[in-house]
Amino acid sequence: MESIVRNRLIHFLQEEIGVPAKEIHVAERILERLGSHDSASFVNWLPIVLWQYGLVNLEQLDRVLDWLDAASFFA
Domain boundaries, the chain: 2-70
For the question of whether the overall pTM of this predicted structure is more than 0.95, the answer is no
Contact in structure between 53 and 47 (CB atoms under 8 Å): no
Residue 38 DSSP label? S
pLDDT classification of 2: cutoffs 50, 70, 90: low
The helix/strand count (H/E) of the chain reads as 4, 0
Question: How many beta carbons lie within 10 A of that of residue 68, not counting itself?
Answer: 19
Q: pLDDT tens for residues 12-52?
A: 999 999 999 999 999 989 888 888 667 678 888 999 999 99
Q: CA 40 to CA 73: how far, in whole Å?
A: 9
Cβ–Cβ < 8 Å for 17, 49:
no
